[in-house]
Amino acid sequence: MRQFFLKHRKWLLYTLYGVILASALLVFRFPSDAVVDYIRAEVQSRYPGLLVSVQKVSLSFPAGVKLTGTEFRTQGPPEQTVFAAKKIIIMPRLLSLLGNSPEYRFTCQAYDGLISGQAGIRKNGEETLYTLLTEFEKIHIDENSPLPAFIKDFMNGTLQGTVTFSGSGLYDPDGTGEAALKLSDGSFRFAQPFLNINVIDFKEFPVKAELKDQNLNIPEARLKGKDFLGQASGVIALKTPIKKSRMNIEVTIEPTAAFMQDSSRNDDTSRLIKQVLKNGRTFNISGTVENPGF
């Protein structure tokens, strides 16, 4: 090995010098504007109503791209943010780049938590198919979060769980996916009061869902709170835009034993709730995602 190095050291040193020089030029002359333009063009081609802004694009070692200050917004009026991230790092699986199905890993710092996972791209004739596995860790949602109004105006809490998807896009009629999510230490707010209840606080709200034939089927969702217990199931028929999707969800709610036995809750509203929900009450949520009704 030593003799090989001594014999070819001149060319090895030239090669090393070339790698270092190319790396330095790539760092200092990185085409960040071109990358941002490419991202915008790709998003616009698939989702014409979506605007993208990125404060900075740079290299992330050992092999990746870092996007700082990324924001996705819908065109107005009114214009609203649907997703914002402090930092996104995208790293390709190098061996996959040699074939026709590249794969990428990503991590995203957003909403005081972490979103991570992997994505794959595959050509199927004229169609491009995507596979996605996403994990959510400690994603904080409240009324000040840069999210669509139909989310942050009706719920808050800390989100964790996984989502998988396979298809050509969100509205692909043949797209499939699954979700296993849990929202913790939060609350649901009602646009229309139910039995004079405007807000239901909960300790945890786990939900499972399956995407098929443009329907998001929810076989099981359970609410565990200090004052109320609940369960729900049903379907959301996906429409474009997503806030126009129609809901048909059956919900059963009942007060906890602690709420029923709490003698301090003796006002008119509490007595009505105890009387009506004593053995549980089932009702239906219909309408659209942006304008639900009981």
Two structure tokens written together for 105: 């890993």
Q: State the pLDDT at residue 32.
A: 64
How far is 245 from 242, CA to CA, in rounded Å? 5
Per-residue tokens: 242 = 């997503």
Query: Which tens digit of pLDDT belongs to each residue from 62-117?
Result: 777 889 999 999 887 778 898 999 999 988 887 777 777 889 999 999 999 999 99
Instruction: Pick 188 or 272 by higher pLDDT.
Output: 188
Sort 113 into a burial class: Cβ within 10 Å, 0-12 / 13-18 / 19+.
Answer: middle
One-letter amino acid of 217 = N
pLDDT tens column, 146-178: 998 888 888 999 999 999 999 987 778 889 999
pLDDT at 2 over 60: no
Give me the sign of the Cα torsion angle 112, 65, 163, 287: positive
Burial of residue 66 (CB within 10 Å: 0-12, 13-18, 19+) is middle
As a whole-number percent, the residues of the chain with pLDDT over 90 amount to: 39
Q: Up-side HSE of residue 267: CA atoms within 13 Å toward CB?
A: 2
Alpha-helix residue ranges (DSSP H) falling in the chain: 2-28, 32-46, 149-152, 257-261, 268-276
